[in-house]
Each structure stands twice: as C-alpha cells, then as structure tokens.
Amino acid sequence: MSQQGYVAAPPYSQAQPGMGGYQGGFGTGPAQPLYGHYGGPPQAFSAPPTGMMKSPVSSAVGMPPPPVSSQYNPNVQQNGAHPQRYPAPPAASAAYGQPLQAPYNSMGSAAPPPAQQLTNQMGAMNLGNYASGPMQSPPPPPTNSVAQQPFQISPPPAMGQPQMPPGLQSPHMSPQMSPPQSPPATMPMAGPPMAGSQMAGPPMAGSQMAGPPMAGSQMAGPPMAGMGRPFPGPPPGPGGFQQLGPGAAGPPGYPQQGGQFGGQMAGPQTGMPGAFPGAPGGLAGPPQKKLDPDSIPSTTQVIEDDQVKHGGQVYSTNVRGQVPPLVTTDFTVQDQGNASPRFMRCTTYSLPCTADLAKQCQVPLATIIKPFATLPKNETPLYVVNHGETGPIRCNRCKAYMCPYMQFIDGGRRFQCGFCNCVNEVPVFYFQHLDHMGRRVDLYERPELSLGSYEFIATMEYCKNNKRPNPPAYIFMIDVSYNNIKSGLVRLICDELKTLLENLPREEGAESSAIKVGFVTYNKILHFYNVKSALAQPQMMVVSDTAEMFVPLLDGFLVNYQESRAVISNLLDQIPDMFADTNESETVFAPVIQAGVEAFKAAECSGKLFIFHSSMPTAEAPGKLKNRDDKKLVNTEKEKTLFQPQKGVYEQLSKDCVAQGCCVDLFLFPSQYVDLATMADVPSHTGGSVYKYNNFQVETDGEHFLRELRKDVQKNIGFDAIMRVRTSTGFRATDFFGAIHMNNTTDIEMAAVDCEKALTVELKHDDTLSEETGALMQCALLYTTINGERRLRIHNLSLNCSLQLSELYKSCETDSLINFFAKSAYRAILNQPLKNVKEILVNQTAHMLACYRKNCASPSAASQLILPDAMKVFPVYMNSLMKTAPLVGSTELSTDDRAHQRLSVMGMGVEDTQLLLYPRLIPLHNTDVSSEAPPAPLRCSEERLTDSGMFLLENGHSMFLWLGQASPPDLIQNILNLPSLAHLQGHMCALPELDNPLSKKIRSIITGLLEKRPNSMKLQIVRQKDKPELLFRQFLVEDKGLHGGASYMDFLCYVHREIRQLLT
Amino acid sequence: MATYQEFIQQNEDRDGVRFSWNLWPSSRLEATRLVVPVSCLFTPLKERPDLPPVQYEPVLCSRANCKAVLNPLCQVDFRAKIWACNFCFQRNPFPPSYAGISEVNQPAELMPQFSTIEYIVQRGPPTPLIFLYVVDTCLEEEDLQALKESLQMSLSLLPPNALVGLITFGRMVQVHELSCEGIAKSYVFRGTKDLSAKQIQEMLGLTKPAASGQQGRPPAPQDAAASCRFLQPVHRVDMNLTDLLGELQRDPWPVPQGKRPLRSTGVALSVAVGLLEGTFPNTGARVMLFIGGPPTQGPGMVVGDELKTPIRSWHDIQKDNARHLKKATKYYEAMANRSAVNGHSIDIYACALDQTGLLEMKCLSNLTGGHIVMGDSFNTSLFKQTFQRVFSKDYNGDFRMAFGSVMEVKTSRELKVCGAIGPCVSLNSKGSCVSENEMGVGGTSQWKVCSLNPSTTLGMYFEVVNQHNAPVPQGGRGVIQFVTQYQHSNTQRRIRVSTIARNWADAQSQIQHIESSFDQEAAAVLMARLGVFRAESEEGPDVLRWLDRQLIRLCQKFGQFNKDDPTSFKLSESLSLYPQFMFHLRRSPFLQVFNNSPDESSYYRHHFVRQDLTQSLIMVQPILYSYSFYGPPEPVLLDSSSILPDRILLMDTFFQLVIYHGETIAQWRKAGYQEMAEYENFKQLLQAPLDDAQEILQTRFPMPRYVDTEHGGSQARFLLSKVNPSQTHNNLYAWGQETGAPILTDDVSLQVFMDHLKKLAVSSSA
C-alpha cells in the first residue's frame, strides 16, 4: 500500500522510457504553446488574471471594472470575487508589475550574483547552472522554461535595454509584448500571470498594486536598486556571471542567494547555455576541488530572501493558484476565498492538466492539510456558520459544502456545484437575490460564500448515534512501576498536574474548561480513582483483570476539575506515597489504552489519554511485548520488520480508539528498548503524539518533559474527527499520510486532531483538468470541540491547472514537496528495503529535475545543473531526508529512535519537516544585543562553525548550544557563569540566569524558540571536540552524515550525474 | 421407665435425637415392612446448658477403620485398664492418663448420663471467625440505607477479633481493601466474567509472587498482611468499615427504562468464595450475601435485564421454559461445593418484592449450612431482627453458631447408615457402616456441615443389615454413635459425641411393642424430609403418590380393620396423628408449588430440612390457638370450623404468624370498645394473642412474617389456605349454625382424605 503512495508518483521503471517522451514533448510542448498564446490573443493573459482577480476583491479598491470581467467570469468559480477580479487587465498588469518588482528587487539584486557563481562553479563541476543564477538568463535568451522566463526577460532587456530587468516583469505583463523574443518568453509567464503572479503573489495585496499604476515607475523604483546591480550582472552576460559580481553587486547582503526569483528567471534559461559552458569549463578544472560551498543553493539564503520579500506583509488568498510565502516566513494571511497556507499547502499550485504531464514530470501532487493550525493573533479566527436545523447546505450529488466555488444561477434560486457541476435548488431560507454581476447580494455577510476557511455548526445527523456529544475528557494514566517511582517521575507528574489542570484548553470566553479529567495509575494492574467532588477522600479501584479490561466506575471517574479540585489534589498528593514502596517492575500497556477507551465508551464521550509509561509491557496481558530488537537486521531485506508494529491486539485497539474518538498521547521514559514501533502504533493512528525521554532523570529532563506536557495538554484540539477531501472533477485524493486511521478509501478518521497535526494527501488525475476552471479542493472536517459541540471545519483551496510544465515547476513548493517525500518514504520503509526506498528518492529527484531541464529550461550544456528556482534547495532537503535516522541503515542508531522519528514525521506539517530536515544554526557569539531579531541562521555545515564561536542549533526536536574550543572566557562567564569551558561538566540543561545583556538576549532567543516550536526541546550544551559533539554534528545536514550519507555537495554532484544520464 | 412419650422426650433432651422407631426390627425385611425406615432426627449441637465440656481429648478405639469414641456403653475392665469398643469389639487399653481409673473413679464419658459429651481439643492455633459481607448495591435508596445501618450495627455484635471483609456488587464487583490508610481502595471485577479461583486470587494479589530475582531492588517488605488485606479484625477496622459502609452508594451505572439493574451476583459470590478459599481454607467463615433482586448478568444469571421478560415461574419451569435455570443452578452448585469443601458457609438475605433467584442459589446455603432469609425489603423489622438474631448469643455469651463441622456416624454391626438429609454435604467417607442403599445424601459415613446452630437438625436414615433368616438376636442393643467435630464460635475446636442404643425387637412377635415405640411426630418429619428431598429432583405428583403409598402401606401394616370394610378401620394411639400430618404435608408449600413462586418453595424447603422436630411439625401442620371470652386460650383444630366470629385466632405456620380477628371481634374492635374502660376485658382479649405472638417472635429464626388481620381481610388468606377445608362452598350444609367459615377451595378436606385412606387401606386389592 504504502508503496503505491510512494512509488506511485512516478513509477520508476517507467521513468526512463518516459524520458524519451519527455524530450519530445518537451521541445515543442511547453515552450511553443506558450508562445503561441502569448503573442496571439491577449486572452492568455486574461485567463490568468481571472485567478488574480480575486485579490482585488479584498482591496476592492477601484476595481469595479470593466466588463472584461464578465468575459472571464464564466469560468471563474468564485462568485463573489469576480467583480473585483475582473479588474481590468491593465490593472492587473500594473499590479503584476509591481509585485514582481518588489520581489525582484530583492531578487534581482541578490539573485543574479549567486546564480552566476553557482553556474560557474557548478559548471566547473560539471553541474549546470542553478535556476537561481539569474545571470545566466541573459545569454540564452528566453527559451521556454517558465521560471526562467523572468530572467529571460531580463536578458533580452538586458541586451537591449538594461533597464529592462526591472521592468522585466512589468513589461511582460502588460504592455510590452513588444520585446520580441523576450516577450514571448515572458509571455508564458505573463500568461500564467501566475508565474508572475506568484512572484507577484505577494504583491497581491491589491492595495499596493493599486498604487503602482506606475508599474513602470515602481518597477523602476524598487527594481532600481536591484536592477542596477542585477542588471549589471546580466548584461555582462556570460562572462559577467562568473564574476560573482552579481553577488557582490547584489545589493546588500543577498549575495549568495541570488534572489530566488531572479534566479529562477535568469539562471536557467539563458545564462547557462552559452556563457556558462565556457565559464564552467574553465573553472571546472581548478575549482573542482575547492568548490565554494557558498556557490551551491543555500537554504538559509532562500529563507532569508523570502522573509525579506514577504516578511510582515499581508498575504491575501484571493488568487487562484498563487504560491504562498515560505513556511519560514513571517507573514499575515487574509482569507479571501482560499484557505490560508497555514491550513493547506500544496506541492505545486499549478497542476498539470493531464495525467501524462504529471507522470512526465514526476513531481508529486499533494496537499498538506493542517486543519487545526494555530492562527497568529492578528488573523481572524474562523467564522462559525449556522445553517439551522437542516444542517449545512451541500451539493446533492457530491455532498460538497457550500463554499465560494458554488455558482448561483437562475436568479439565485439554484446553484451549481463547483466540484461536480450538479445544479441544486437553493433552500428557501437561504435564497438571496443576485446582483448584476451574478453574485449574491449577501456575499460578504456569509463566510461560506466569501472565505476559504470557516466552520459550520453540525446538526444531529452529524453526531454519533444521533446524540449530542458530551464534552471530551482527558485521562492521565501514570505508570507507577518501580522505574517511574524511583526516577521521581511520578511525583513530578503529580505535582505538575495540580497546576496544569488549571489550564486545560477552554472555549473562547468560557469561564472554565468543559473538559473532564480522570486518573489512572498502573503497573501490571490498573488503579482507577473515584474523585467525585462529594467525596472526602479519593477512592481507588483496582482492576487486575487485564485480559479483559473494563472501567470499574462511571460516576466520579471523569470529573470537572474545578469541582473536584480538592479531591484531585488530595489524590495527586497521595499517589507518589502510595506506591513509594512498590517493587513491581512489570507493566501492561494495551489494557491501559483499552481502559481509556472503555471509560470513554461508558461516559459516551471522546477524549485523550496521556500515558506516562516506562518500560516494555512484559506482564502477562494482551499486548505483551518481547524484545525483538535485532541489529543484525539492519541493512537487510528484513530491516523493515523493525519498523512494523507487531500485529494483533494493537491493531484492533487502534480501531477501537478511533471509533470512540480516543486519542492516545504516549510519554515514554525508557531505559532500554521498548519496541516503540509497536507501542506507538496506537498513538500514531489516533492523532496522538509520542514523546520519548531516554534514561529520564528529573534534574536534567524534568523541565523539558514538563514543557512538552504543558504544551500538549493545552493544545488546541478537536476530537472524534472525520475528514474528507473533495475535489473538482478530473482529479481526486488518492492517498493519505498522517496520524490517522482509514476504514475506507475516502474517510480520514482521527480520534483527535490538534493544532500540530497535519496530514498529507496525494492527488491523482482522473481525467484532464481544465486550465480555465482550475482545480478545486474542499477539505471538510467533522469534529467535536473541546466544549462538546459538533462542528464542521471547511477549508477550500483552488489551484491552477496548466498544460505547461513550466507553470508547474514555477509554482512548486519545496517545503511541501519534501514533506510529501518524507512521509511517503517513511511509509515505504515499512514494506521495502531501505536501499530501494533511497534509490527511488534519488531517482525521482533526478527525474523531476531532468524533466525540468528538458522541458522548461533553455537549452544549455549538459554539464550544467539547472534547477527550477522553486526547487533550488530541494536537493539539500532530499539529501537531509536520506540521512535521517529511519533511512540510514546504521546499527549505531537505536531502533526505537528510528521508529520514533519515522512515526512522528508522519503527522508533521510542512513547517516541522522543513525545520527537521534543515535545522537552524544560529551564531550567538556576536549577537547584537540591541537588535530585536535573532541573528540570521547559518548553513548547517561544520565550515560555518568557528573555534571561538558559540552556536545554537535546533530542529524542533533537539537543541544544542555548541561552544567552540576557543570560546573567550568572558563569553563563557557571561553565559554559563563558569570561569572557563573546562569547568563545564555534568549535564547543564538550562542556561543560568545571569544579569548581563548577552545572557538575557540568548536566553530570550532560546525561550522564544521553545515557545514557537510545537515540541519542547532539551537544551544540550556541547563543547567542540567533546564526545557529545557527535550528536550535534549529525544535525549539520550539509555535511557528510555521521552514520553514512553524502554531503550536500556530493549529493548534488550525484544528482547531476543522474540527470545527465537521464537526459542523454 | 415410663411411657414412650417420656422416654422419647428424655432422649431428645439429652442426646438431641428422635427416632422414628424406638425399638428396632431385627431384620432387614421386617424393617422394610415397617414402611417408615429406622431413622432419626439428630440435632448435633442441641443446647445443653447442663453439659459442661470436658477439657481433654476423647479416647478412640485403636482400630484404624473404627476409631469409635469411648462411651458409657462400652465394656470396661477396670483392672486390666482395658475397654472394649462396642462397635468393632476391639479391646483397647486406656491411655496412660487414665491410669487412675476404677469403678468409683470413672471419667465422665463412661457415666450413663454422659451419653452425649463434649470435648474441647487443641488443634493448631485458634482461628478467628470470619464474616464476609457481600452486598448488592442495586437497591432502592431506602433499602440500601437500611441495609447499611444493619451492617454497621452488626459490626458491634461481632467479637472484636473476628475478621470482616466487604464485597459490594452491582454491575461490577468490588472487593474492598480494609487495611489501607488514606485512600479507600478496592479491587474491581467485571460482573460478566467467570473467573477461576486461581485467577481471582492472582488478581487480588493473594498468590505469593515468585521470588523476584531482580537486582538492585529493595527486598519486598514482608507482605504477611497481604493475604488479609481484605479481611481484618473488627477492632482494627471498625471505624474504617463503618465509614466505608456509610459511603456506599447505589450502583452508579445507569439503568435504562425497561431494564433491570445489572447485578453480578454470580461473580460476586465467586470472588467471595475464591477469596476465602485462597486465604482461609478450612476455617470457619460466613459469606453473608445480601441481595435485592435476581442476578441479571454474568455467570449465575437468573434472568435477563429486560423487564419485559419476567423471571421464571413454576409454570415456566414445568414447561421447560426457564432459560437460565439449569446453567445458573449448576454454577451455584459448583460454588456451593467448593465453599463446602473449605468449610465456609454462605447465607443469603434476599429482600425484594419479586423473586431473587433463590431457586438457583438455594444450594449455596443448603449445602453449606448457611441461612436463607427472605423478605420484602431490608427496611423491615423482619429482616432487621432476623439479621440481628443471626448474631444471637447463648448463655455463655458465645454465638449460637458453629463452623466447619464434620459429623461422623458409627453404627454397630447390625446397622448401616443410608444417608442424611439436612444442610450437609457428603465427605465421601466409605466405611463398613455405609449402606449401598442411599436415602438423602448417602454413600458416606461422614458429612460436612459448614455451619451449625443449636437447632440445626439432620435427618439420619439407617437400615438393618441382618437378613430375615439371620435376625439380630433378641436382647441385644443396636448402637449408633454421632461424632461431631466443629469449631465453636469462641474459636475452640470441639468434639461432641452422642452414643445412642436401642433394643432390637422381633417384628413378628413383638409387633405391638414396635408399634408403640413409634414416634409419629418424628416419623412424620422424617418422611416429610424424604418427600421434600425427592421433590427437589422429581415431579411433584410423583412425590405425592409416593407419600400416599407409604401412608397406605403403613396403615395396612398397623391399622386394625376388616378387609374391605373402611368403617372398621382403626389406628392405635401411637399412629393416630400420623395420617393427619401427612394430609397437611400434602397441602404444604413443601410439596405443593401452586401459589408459590419457585423462590418461595426453595425458601420453605430450605428451612424445613434443617429445623428441629417441633419447628418442622409446625411447618407441616401449623398450630392454631383460639382466644375467646369463653375460657382461656386453647389450641384448636386447624380446621375451617375453628374460624368463628367471636374468636381471635393465632396461627403459627413457622413462616407466618397470623392473628385473625373473627367477624364480631373485628367489628367490636372497629367500634373501639377496647378503648372504653368498661370493656377492659375486651382489650385484654385483644392483647392476649399479641403477647403470645411476641413470645414466638422472640425465639423464632428467621423472624416470621407477622400478619394481623381479620375476617374478610385480604391477609386472611394466610389462615384460610392452611386450615382444613372442612366446609367449602361445595358442602355448605349448615346455615345458621356456628360452623366457622367456608373456604372457597376445591381441595379435599381431611375427612375426605381419611375416608379415602381407609378405603384404600382396607382394600384387599391394594
């Protein structure tokens, strides 16, 4: 099964044969058509614009415009938006221009340079240029590739008119088709304004645009700066590139990156071919050995650029298929008809129109949905819509929920479903007249007609057994066997719970949480507690019948904390003492979960179990496990068995849990192998999380654990959820990855889903998609709130469709892609040998890139590595992924840790996988104490470390403070309050609170990170050259892996070689 | 020696024994012809305030398969210091401690008045009494409250060192740990799962864990207390348990409309039995089960939880329509046997308006000597006082209860024991004195009676061994020795030995003697026990037919008549009442199930087979006293003709105590004459039966249902159903006469019964 998911994307075997095909298609296909559109009818433009249109909506500014709209309208899905969208093309163009520019600026400036360097060096290496290298563009005038286009554009301009660059985009768009060639090239872009738009995307902010009319001017303006430099770059053309100049030239600090944008455009197409070859060649010889690591695409740079471009801006979701800012970028979302990227992200925002195209490029089509994503304070929480007793209005045929994609017709009496085109009657109570634009008059009063995300109040039909659900409950199940008692964990938990329970999540505005709480302790038997408020003392009820677990009491087990506070507090005081003398070291596990399920069943509610468990459950009971950790299996065909859960009890248990809406969070405190693959099976199917603290010690891990526990308990969460992803005709959701359970092929069941859980949905073609109507997705999640209300959360997203692969490559999202790859690879290892999986990953990487090269990039020497701008840093992530513990067949890694990582990734969202695969390395030694922002992260490579430096590295799960051997004593004193590094000993797990600016600053950075990340991290302080440093080093993902795995550079070379093979 | 009456009385007083025949026929054939077997009612612990126990061990016959106890009937050679066993004729030397023995210095056991003697023996450390309360919590609030109070009260009645335990159940079964400080702790069992004793003990943590070889662990603190975490001395947990009982809540699981509460009686008992089995085997213990309804789930379930399915009736059972009956009965039987093996007895206190499943559960008490008490509610004085009376004390301040007794019967060679009927189980001890012919619980010479009280009476049945051609020689005496070992309520081990002898008589030549030695009361009860015993396994009509046949045969044997002339039929004085007993027995609830629920039948039979002769006779033929202005209170015939308007009747059926005011008396009372000073005598008349009733209530266990009714009252049915229907609507011939009250029934009257009996007895064809 998993295989399918994974392999499916591009059937490997076929790939090669396909290649031939590609080329063919390639040459002509993409490029030409584009042109055609281009020159010909402005239509090309128009179409795209439609998508764009939306933005205006928000701004609403003056767009009232023109009739044009009308024309477009038809296709357009969004009723509401239309008017605005339609804004006259010109406007659009203008807009575009601007947006572009903006990006450009940064881009421009930055981009060019890097690209060049890269190209050069790469060339040397035989690698082609990266897309990034804007520089390149100039030379080879626009060819086909979309991404490149921008650049291409520039080139031409460059050629002809230096200024062009800035204008590049703008020009393209609107007016000047004129530039002969370039135009065409650009055109595609334009056509798909999308492309442009994407870039532009940001610009979207209609408002801004507005101002711009100046397209030209603005462009000029901003671009200016950039322009100036970039241009220079380009102009120089081939030769010029090599000169890192661009980089240098690049305005401020961007040097390396070479604006992504710039890069995209320029790099690929042009530069490469001509100039590079030469250059590279030349360089090739010498530089090979000392390839400048700076020359290969840098993730940190890409991130930084995007932050500069979009940081702090408002991102409106009114445009179909626009590529959102990176997950690392700090931006504000304004919902204008599509779900916020916080909720849904796609691997590409422009789907290929046909299955063939999709197959050809092998870029996986997937969307990553995080239905409960936390919204920043400044974004509006979801509106709740109530359609009354009849429940939410839905399409009769496909059951899609009312959304902006429903087209009202017939004077408002009927509506046509945007997903299946079925025409439905509008219920009387919902009737509303249409305005002259065909939009409902109440469009803006109804979230379900104007927003991408909103909630419906669910009616009784949506409730289990036709009964309103009860508020959920949290049950704390504490293993009180010898280990946990001895380590002091039990006392720690009990003490913490007293305060933690005061802060249970509650509905906004509610006085106290509706969540009930219950307590169980266990070793090889279970103890339930009656904590009814009426009791003077809690009562313990022991259940020893672990073979057939049941809940011994109903009344008094799950209680309102506020009401029973005294009894609970009494209980929590007594638990550690009651078991203080315990001698019991055996534990059970499955019965503990079973008990939770039974409790929820009896109380007719859903909820979550917090299980604090110490050891492998070896006591005689269902789900008893035995040690099956066999390092000999590593790197053999049978390695997969290490990741597979043991069959039987746990499988059924997962089903029971999901059926009851019982989510399991497992906190593990093992001192040895516990068969995590099996123990985490239930959590990983019920939307739960698994936390693991090896050799737990209260002093060193206590705080870390408590932070995590607090976060977990307080998480925003929904229970007993069932989700469905509906799509417009032509494609559908085929595979699902996440902490979920699937009973059939369409319903995604989750016992609970919290704000950190994301699931990745793979999409496949059923049929041909239309460029005009694009592709629509609606994710509907039925769940129970923490208050016990039944709700439907709807997320809508519209994507573009294109016959041009270039469009696809342009609107790819590396972070999403890698999320998909990580999950599919992690699933695949359950069934295939690691070797195969890794091969597939590399092959597919090469394939995707080769396809781009073949179809989208301008012709260039085979020795050049040309990367689509949007995937510029994809290889580094891919390489990092292959070096992750699950995929590294090393006997030095603990089987449990590998299994743990494998499972935790399955539920991760894009942010998490991004961070996990490319940790932040932050230099602290020269922190600017006065600045607000933390220091810019560095690339994860040993080369970036300095002997006298101090670095903070975190990936969302681990955090290291690395201290160089030669760290100045005053630094050590200021931070650690130690006279010298040599005095550092034992396990310091937090920085002392010192009263000096640096210490404060650093601690605030750390605290900030801890708060921001979904998990807490344990701070580990390592000295350079100390043994623990090894741990740290494995996170330097650009370097060679500690347990095997290539360095970024090597990987890139390898991929390039593969690509070349594919291309020949 | 005076009359047989006196002899019988004397024997009963001294040895607690009543024989059907006080002269024994000398051959098997003759014995068979006597119809009523040689048998006796034996009350092992008959209260003998005049009998101080001796503080030494009994002297036993040294023959391995005899081991009879030295008794007054043994021949003793004082000079040789040798005694001859009167069962096996083994000559045994006296033990050294008897060195000083002589004709004038005899140990008590040789003196004739000590044909019954009690020894206190030292056997291991004394074990405290154990009381394990098993409490149903599926009760109405009011009932539960009353029950809780009764239980709390009972704690004060227990000796301080007695161990108590508490198990509560409803949908789940909770075993409460009593030792812990702080948090109240209980072990919970699913009410639907049948667990083996081993599993239960494991789950309760009672099994000794295998020595854990774990290193670095502090050694387990000696959990000597572990085994008795659930059973603690009253004085230690008094407060704790009182609180615990006070906090007992009704079963918290919701009971949907139209359903019965889920009651896991079966598992609760299983846990109780398993707990005791694991912790205190072979120690006196009472499991006291309090139920307010039938078991509705799990093993031992008697009825489903659907209210629309009523609990089985006799009708259902006869139609083989009682789904759970067999399974449940089997389950409880198995449990009763386990419990009996360990010497633990099980009491059932069932208080509910509907049936509670006593039919299925009766064996729990029947086999273990436990009590069954049936009432309408725990909140009635019937239950409260009965329960209190369980803990009544004797003149020494000891509980009137004994535990774990083993009763052994030894017979001289001419006799064999066929069986016993009473609250006992066979110990399967085969010996030379065990007959192959079983009557009651047979095939053994030893029975276990897990719990005894001074009135517990067993019916023992014997047969004469000698063949007709080799009768027992005249002049000899047959001897029977009952050896009852038991744990006295003060925890002493005791042995009571009763040795009884009767003369042999040749039935041919001495038939009159034999006839006059007939104890018709004892015989009636003994035959009734046989009948009831049969009724448990046979169809009702078959039993009646058997009884009738026996009666007819007896009448043929001893009646004086001319063939085929019913009017000539006469019975001697010693048999004259017997047919009447049989008449009432036939009508009694012990053999008639009509109008009784299966539970009631079980309840009545339970008590019938364990009460002493007097009580048993009352059950067979209730006593009726009449109060009037015409004279002092007098017993009157249990006949409808005794129901007169100007009388007050007091009827004692053992289970009910009915005061019935005749029509006129009732009117007077209604008019309030008793309030008027000038009718003081009327007030006294009204008061007299109340006082007498009170006296009966004082001593009766279980408390009878007390009914105060009057002519025409609905409760008068209790009286009307018992009296001999000499006048019915069918033969109402005496208008205007003082004839009593007609009974609306088709039952035959005693007169008709007797007529038929005579006819059959004299019939030559019968």
What is the full DSSP assignment across B523-545? HHHHHHHHHHHHHTTS-HHHHHH
CB-based contact A438:A414 (threshold 8 Å) = no
Nearest to A260 by CA among A97, A117, A114: A114
Interface contact flag, B203 A585, Cβ < 8 Å: no
pLDDT in tens, A33-82: 333 333 333 333 333 333 333 433 343 333 434 433 334 433 434 444 34
A717/A506 Cα distance (integer angstroms): 10
Nearest to B147 by CA among B400, B392, B373: B373
pLDDT at A449: 93
pLDDT in tens, A859-875: 877 778 888 999 999 99
Give yes or no for A581 touching B (CB within 8 A): yes
Closest residue in chain A to residue B206, using alpha carbons only: A544
The stretch A993-1008 carries a mean pLDDT of 89
Give yes or no for B190 touching A (CB within 8 A): yes
Residues of chain B with Cβ-Cβ distance to A583 below 8 Å are 212, 217-218, 220
Give yes or no for B222 touching A (CB within 8 A): no
**Which residues in B66-82 are b (16+ Cβ under 10 Å) and which e?**
bbbbbbbbbebeeeebe
Q: Mean pLDDT, chain B, as a whole number?
A: 89
Angstroms from B340 CA to nearest CA on chain A: 27
A1014/A716 Cα distance (integer angstroms): 11
Answer yes or no: is pLDDT of B707 > 90: yes
Residues of chain A with Cβ-Cβ distance to B247 below 8 Å are 535
Residues of chain A with Cβ-Cβ distance to B205 below 8 Å are 525, 544
Answer yes or no: is pLDDT of B222 > 60: no
Answer yes or no: is pLDDT of B425 > 60: yes
Q: How far is CA A829 from CA A162, A173, A639, A875, in A?
A: 52, 47, 8, 20
pTM for the full predicted model: 0.80
pLDDT at A986: 67
CB-based contact A410:A425 (threshold 8 Å) = no
Closest residue in chain A to residue B196, using alpha carbons only: A545
A771/A775 Cα distance (integer angstroms): 8
pLDDT at B295: 95
Nearest to A58 by CA among A36, A93, A15, A87: A87
pLDDT at A39: 34
Q: Which residue has the higher pLDDT, A859 or A659?
A: A659
pLDDT in tens, B619-662: 999 999 999 998 899 999 998 889 989 999 999 999 999 999 99
pLDDT at A101: 37
Cβ neighbours of residue A465 under 8 Å, at least 6 residues apart?
none
A613/A483 Cα distance (integer angstroms): 10
Angstroms from B256 CA to nearest CA on chain A: 14
In A505-544, the residues whose Cβ lies within 8 Å of chain B are 525, 527-529, 535, 537-544
Angstroms from B233 CA to nearest CA on chain A: 22
Q: Which of A482, A542, A581 sits opposite B185 (nearest CB)?
A: A542
Give yes or no for B217 touching A (CB within 8 A): yes
Q: CA B329 from chain center: how many Å?
A: 20
Reading the block at residue A984, the tokens are 């550092």
Cβ neighbours of residue A792 under 8 Å, at least 6 residues apart?
A392, A401, A455, A456, A457, A458, A462, A780, A781, A782, A783
Answer yes or no: is pLDDT of A130 > 60: no
Give yes or no for B204 touching A (CB within 8 A): yes
Answer yes or no: is pLDDT of A254 > 50: no
pLDDT at B268: 95
The stretch A497-504 carries a mean pLDDT of 92
Angstroms from A543 CA to nearest CA on chain B: 5
Tell me the pairing of strands B184-190 and A539-543. parallel
Residue A960 pairs in a beta bridge with A953, A1020
Give yes or no for A585 touching B (CB within 8 A): yes
Reading the block at residue A311, the tokens are 């940081």
Tell me the pairing of strands B39-42 and B458-464. antiparallel
Pinpoint the alpha helices (H) of B300-412: 314-318, 325-341, 358-368, 381-390
Closest residue in chain A to residue B202, using alpha carbons only: A544
pLDDT at A290: 52
Angstroms from A554 CA to nearest CA on chain B: 6
Interface contact flag, B217 A571, Cβ < 8 Å: no
Q: Hey, of B168, B188, B204, B212, which one would you mutate to test binding to chain A, going by the most A CBs within 10 A of its CB?
A: B188
Reading the block at residue B570, the tokens are 């006469």
Answer yes or no: is pLDDT of A24 > 70: no
Give yes or no for B183 touching A (CB within 8 A): yes
Q: Which residue has the higher pLDDT, B123 or B505?
A: B505
Stretch among A454-458, B23-27, B210-214, B305-309 having the lowest mean pLDDT = B210-214
pLDDT at B766: 53
The stretch B671-695 carries a mean pLDDT of 92
Q: Mean pLDDT, chain A, as a whole number?
A: 76
CB-based contact B99:B81 (threshold 8 Å) = yes
Nearest to A599 by CA among A661, A550, A529: A550
**Which residues in B543-580 are b (16+ Cβ under 10 Å) and which e?**
bbebbbebbbbbbbbbbebeeeebeebebeebbeebbb
CB-based contact A10:A362 (threshold 8 Å) = yes
Angstroms from B220 CA to nearest CA on chain A: 6
Angstroms from B460 CA to nearest CA on chain A: 46
The stretch B343-372 carries a mean pLDDT of 94
Cβ neighbours of residue B64 under 8 Å, at least 6 residues apart?
none
pLDDT at B740: 66
The stretch B534-557 carries a mean pLDDT of 91
Answer yes or no: is pLDDT of B347 > 50: yes
Stretch among A272-286, A458-472, B25-39, B700-714 having the lowest mean pLDDT = A272-286
Interface contact flag, B214 A585, Cβ < 8 Å: yes
**Which residues in B90-100 are b (16+ Cβ under 10 Å) and which e?**
bebebeeebee
Residue B349 pairs in a beta bridge with B290, B373
Nearest to B700 by CA among B388, B362, B356: B388
pLDDT at B508: 84
Answer yes or no: is pLDDT of A194 > 80: no
Angstroms from A605 CA to nearest CA on chain B: 16
Residues of chain B with Cβ-Cβ distance to A535 below 8 Å are 247
| pLDDT confidence tier of residue B164, bands split at 50, 70 and 90 | very high
Nearest to A1036 by CA among A956, A939, A961: A939
pLDDT at B216: 41
Stretch among A5-9, A765-769, B57-61 having the lowest mean pLDDT = A5-9
The interface pTM score, or ipTM, of the predicted complex is 0.85
Q: Hey, of A486, A519, A545, which one would you mutate to test binding to chain B, going by the most B CBs within 10 A of its CB?
A: A545
Angstroms from A580 CA to nearest CA on chain B: 12
Residues of chain A with Cβ-Cβ distance to B204 below 8 Å are 544
Q: Which of B193, B252, B253 sits opposite A548 (nearest CB)?
A: B193
Nearest to B70 by CA among B18, B109, B43, B122: B109
Cβ neighbours of residue A1011 under 8 Å, at least 6 residues apart?
none
Closest residue in chain A to residue B246, using alpha carbons only: A535
Interface contact flag, A540 B218, Cβ < 8 Å: no
CB-based contact A24:A17 (threshold 8 Å) = no
What is the share, in percent, of chain A residues with pLDDT greater than 70? Answer: 72
How many CA atoms lie less than 13 Å away from A868 in the CB half-sphere? 33
How many CA atoms lie less than 13 Å away from B225 in the CB half-sphere? 9
| pLDDT confidence tier of residue A89, bands split at 50, 70 and 90 | very low
Reading the block at residue A804, the tokens are 């041009």
Q: CA A423 from chain center: how many Å?
A: 36
Number of residues in chain A: 1064
pLDDT at A303: 92
Answer yes or no: is pLDDT of A241 > 90: no
Answer yes or no: is pLDDT of A16 > 60: no
pLDDT in tens, A366-424: 999 999 999 999 999 999 999 988 889 999 999 999 999 999 998 999 999 999 999 99
A/B interface, count of CB pairs below 8 Å: 73
pLDDT at B328: 95
Q: Which residue has the higher pLDDT, B79 or A4?
A: B79
Q: Which of B189, B205, B217 sits opposite A545 (nearest CB)?
A: B189
Residues of chain A with Cβ-Cβ distance to B182 below 8 Å are 537, 574, 578
Answer yes or no: is pLDDT of B211 > 50: no
